[in-house]
Structure 1
């Protein structure tokens, strides 16, 4: 019988409920009759065993070993015979990683999913820190005072980034100033409306009141009015009108990322795979592409990929959109997570996995979203992943990655002119969130925001990498040296997506070099 690849051996053992040591997989894959060897080893295992060891295999094979090829990781279990496996196509050419903005249509690397290689990882070199996670800290009750607290906290924290740029005066003090005075004001956008002459009135609110500011259409900064969202914090400078009833705006400032920002990088060559929107449970989940991806993680090409960051929507969920039940392959929510967990077992056991929830996941819809409850964590316990809230900042070997599922991108794209934000270039919508230093500024639209004692959605510290998903489109580039990546999805187009004209970018895995912040796009479909 031909030798089987180690990944096949791992899959067969996983289907029977067993993990396996690397050496055990190597011996089984090199046996003359691998299938028969697996049968004998499983039969001889103690009833309480959950892992196949090298000693187990040697005892069965009586020292008879074929010529072995190094195999897959120790905990890289795969699901029962659910998806078929395809080897994909050969890599064609590398992605140009020097451009500031990139598009998924620019020659991704088409990657083989199968191979045999023994990963060697020094886990002592790793470091992961989590910040900004609401999990276990949610205190909001929905009372009026809770909303006051969260908006006041937003105003104070973002306002502190702007007060050094303008000579801020509270709104009630401006009301007492004489006409013609120079004015600086830091406020939250309360309203934006146009006048009959084509000018713009922007009402800014601080803790003392509301004051109108006029942006005339002939000024260059009039273009910035298109970028304003309700409830974001900005600053203006201008001149008070003669009757002291309005400010004529000369300058408008966003909290923004400094243009001189220098991102941190890792001290060694190590990589992270950034993926999102797996959607297990959907009829359109790309099982074969996911298996190609996880098999590739076992190859020499992926030996430096030590981190897997998943930005939400692990499963398709239930009742998320109209008539969703007609597009489900798995109709029970908990069974969807059990199936996802089986696919997660395909990932090499020595990889560090970090996950946040999304709007299809079984957590509250209002953001910030705490991580999964204990029942779901237990289901998804393969590899003991770090499950944190949405959003969270994950610092991986010194590189800070702001992980946010990305629901607010819908509002940015809907509110902005197409040339400034679109689904075809989702990273440009992400730039605006970085500019506003807030992942979901606008309250009261389609976004559901949970009032907490502090605003967990403020971007206090500039991240080195900003990772989102949700919109099922691939896009990436750099904004003031911050790498922004929307990582696409693992779900083919659904009937619902057709009805709303969404053409997804499916089966892509952006791979980030943490020592340089260069990106390679791997394609598995």
Structure 2
């Protein structure tokens, strides 16, 4: 088949174990004889290379048309990314018709699949055609835009001393209290203590303690930079049930009336930083898509290599021609020593070998797709959040696709759409602490709604979620995201909260013995695909 499009060039390179710089692909596509140019560029790169560069292609083009070799063929001696990878178009067509035109019903906890479903709940018919040809992804790379903010990689300054923790909580309070001070007539705790009894009062503070009284009322102790003050929520108040959704250390505002002795505030209303109901999300100005995935877990015996191959092959088809970005929300590998007896479930026991193998799987993705990844709790970075991006050694191992690597969490702006990427360890704590109707593993996006409401990805400190004290609190949602993307819990769920698309993207690992022991039934082999121009979403199943 003629190499008339950049994507076909990338696919041919990947079939023979090579990746390429985007500029190199553009130069090959524009050559008079792309097939011969590609073959000679590979020869120029050398047998030990894993990437064809623009310099390799320019060297070939500058040498003129007379020094040519035969076009690259199936008999090339270059190693393929994996001997088990199927790239035959007919085989891909068969696998697509069997598995990819289905999606998980977000309203169902049974795992039943059906036709592609958008976030609005409307079904669309399965896509047909395009499976027997390479993708027509021909977008101009100059149209793309991708930037990263809130990346704290290389910025860590915390030493673990008490003063560092004071700094990070002060920063949290200052950032979140700004979201609330416009809604209440805030007074510091120190000032409220000196106000006369019966006065109207309002306070913004971090939740320092929550306990119930003998009469069934709720006593909430709030803390600001001047001190603490007790606030009583009577059990007959309409908003009393909201106390069940409070987490320690989150920031809220209360309004009420002081007792006669000014020693306590009787709460009349509660407020959260929250996402404004009037929030209007940003959208791309052209039709372009992003695949949101997480928890690949290469190195596990339960890693679903077949599902990954089908996903990568699908990315080469016309059905995926608008997918120009892949955002991976952590846990690229299974890691070592993460949970008890994990070594018994490992297919690859060395952590660096796990990343080497992940890099091989990454080669199967079309080289003209932009990839952004953050670490997770199984990755080889510190467990305390925020987690910096991978060190240079691991970045070198995973450099085959020029992936952007940033910290957990980070905000990635793609075509003007702000995507908050967070691996999601705090979801375990939210689900454990809150009522099941507010947060559960079967509906992980509802737990994400709670984090959006609190405007913090990991508000509670001192439990299972570890906190690294830094100069500032990188876990605050200072700006409202357009998309909130998490992983970690290995469950698929999505929905919209005040026009913010919340997506937990499942995993690529079948159920392990450890997961069986803790009753985790993973949603594996799914790829949520978001239309960045509308923020509608479909889900592709490859398992």
* TM-score of Structure 1 vs Structure 2, range by shorter chain: 0.7 to 0.9
**Aligned pairs, number:** 500
1: CA distance between counterparts of 2:13 and 2:174?
Answer: 53
| 2:288 alignment counterpart | 270
1:105 is displaced (CA, Å) by: 3.8
RMSD: 3.4
1:213 is displaced (CA, Å) by: 0.7
1: CA distance between counterparts of 2:114 and 2:441?
Answer: 19
| 2:202 alignment counterpart | 184
Change (3 A) 1:206 1:295: same
2: CA distance between counterparts of 1:264 and 1:84?
Answer: 38
Kept in 2: contact 1:356–1:389 (CA 8 A): yes
| 2:404 alignment counterpart | 386
2: CA distance between counterparts of 1:94 and 1:47?
Answer: 39
How do residues 162-173 of structure 1 correspond to structure 2 at under 5 angstroms?
162-173=180-191
- Partner secondary structure for residue 151 of structure 1: helix
- Partner secondary structure for residue 97 of structure 2: coil
Unaligned runs of 5+ in 2: 1-7, 117-125
Kept in 1: contact 2:100–2:541 (CA 8 A): no
Kept in 2: contact 1:95–1:520 (CA 8 A): no
| 1:477 alignment counterpart | 495
| 2:422 alignment counterpart | 404
| 1:198 alignment counterpart | 216
| 1:223 alignment counterpart | 241
Change (3 A) 1:495 1:100: closer
1:129 is displaced (CA, Å) by: 1.2
Deviations along 1:385-417, whole A, 9 cap, x unmatched?
110000000000110000000000000000001
1: CA distance between counterparts of 2:102 and 2:47?
Answer: 50
Deviations along 1:31-50, whole A, 9 cap, x unmatched?
9xxxxxx9x99899866766
Change (3 A) 1:107 1:48: closer
| 2:450 alignment counterpart | 432
Q: Does 1:107 align with 2:114?
A: yes
| 2:16 alignment counterpart | 13
| 1:330 alignment counterpart | 348
Change (3 A) 1:377 1:46: closer
1:179 is displaced (CA, Å) by: 1.4
Kept in 2: contact 1:111–1:296 (CA 8 A): no
Deviations along 1:322-358, whole A, 9 cap, x unmatched?
0000000000000000000000011100011000000
- Partner secondary structure for residue 401 of structure 2: coil
2: CA distance between counterparts of 1:49 and 1:189?
Answer: 55
| 1:81 alignment counterpart | 83
1:360 is displaced (CA, Å) by: 0.3
1:21 is displaced (CA, Å) by: 5.8
Q: Does 1:521 align with 2:539?
A: yes
Change (3 A) 1:45 1:349: closer
Kept in 1: contact 2:207–2:220 (CA 8 A): yes
Change (3 A) 1:89 1:433: same
Deviations along 1:137-171, whole A, 9 cap, x unmatched?
11111111110100000001100110111111111
| 2:391 alignment counterpart | 373
Q: Does 1:301 align with 2:319?
A: yes
How do residues 40-59 of structure 1 correspond to structure 2 at under 5 angstroms?
51=52, 59=68
2: CA distance between counterparts of 1:29 and 1:495?
Answer: 50
| 2:254 alignment counterpart | 236
Kept in 2: contact 1:94–1:520 (CA 8 A): no
Kept in 2: contact 1:169–1:185 (CA 8 A): yes
From 102, 117, 122, the equivalent of 2:134 is: 117
Q: Does 1:443 align with 2:443?
A: no
Change (3 A) 1:10 1:426: same
Q: Does 1:256 align with 2:274?
A: yes
1:121 is displaced (CA, Å) by: 2.5
Change (3 A) 1:362 1:78: farther
Kept in 2: contact 1:366–1:449 (CA 8 A): yes
2: CA distance between counterparts of 1:62 and 1:237?
Answer: 75
1: CA distance between counterparts of 2:204 and 2:388?
Answer: 31
- Partner secondary structure for residue 402 of structure 1: strand
| 1:71 alignment counterpart | none
1:90 is displaced (CA, Å) by: 1.2
1:447 is displaced (CA, Å) by: 0.6
1: CA distance between counterparts of 2:397 and 2:420?
Answer: 25
Change (3 A) 1:256 1:105: farther
2: CA distance between counterparts of 1:62 and 1:484?
Answer: 47
| 1:73 alignment counterpart | none
2: CA distance between counterparts of 1:163 and 1:59?
Answer: 71
- Partner secondary structure for residue 288 of structure 1: helix
1: CA distance between counterparts of 2:383 and 2:225?
Answer: 29
2: CA distance between counterparts of 1:359 and 1:471?
Answer: 11
| 2:122 alignment counterpart | none
Q: TM-score, normalised by structure 2?
A: 0.85
Deviations along 1:183-210, whole A, 9 cap, x unmatched?
1010100000111111110110111111
- Partner secondary structure for residue 301 of structure 1: helix
Q: TM-score, normalised by structure 1?
A: 0.87
Unaligned runs of 5+ in 1: 32-37, 67-76
